[in-house]
Amino acid sequence: MALLGKQVRQLRSLAHHLNPVISVGKNGITDGLVRQTEDELELRELVKGSVQEMSDYTAREAANELAERTGADVVQVIGRKFSLYRKSSRDDVEHIKLV
């Protein structure tokens, strides 16, 4: 799902206050990290991740690969941090109402 500019701005403002829950380290993007990202997206819809200095990935590369492998959208990449969004299929979570 391609996000509109207005939606991206909304998600950026929501992601600003989040702490990273996904961390890409020296092992790169493993299947376990992809599963963890999928679980977090189902639980929260909007997640922030970070790339450690020892990683071979840039934040943009990590965000793009995780987005591709989880079906999410890249919301923002700044420095070593990135934000991803995917609408949750769960009914028991509070869904983000996109404008």
Q: What is the pLDDT of residues 18-64, one digit of tens each?
A: 999 999 999 999 999 999 999 999 999 999 999 999 999 999 999 99
Q: Residue 2's pLDDT is what?
A: 82
- Quote the pTM value: 0.94
Pick the closest to residue 88 from 18, 21, 41, 39 (CA basis). Answer: 41
> What's the mean per-residue pLDDT of the chain?
95
Does 19 map to a domain?
yes
Please report, for the domain that includes residue 29, its CATH number: 3.30.110.60
Q: Residue 85's pLDDT is what?
A: 97
Query: H-type helices in the chain, by residue range?
Result: 5-15, 31-44, 59-70
| Segments forming the whole domain that contains residue 37 | 5-85
Does 99 map to a domain?
no
Does 23 map to a domain?
yes
What b/e sequence results for 70-89 when a residue is b if at least 16 CB atoms lie within 10 Å of its CB, and e otherwise? Answer: bebbbbbbeebbbbbbbbbe
Q: Residue 54's pLDDT is what?
A: 95
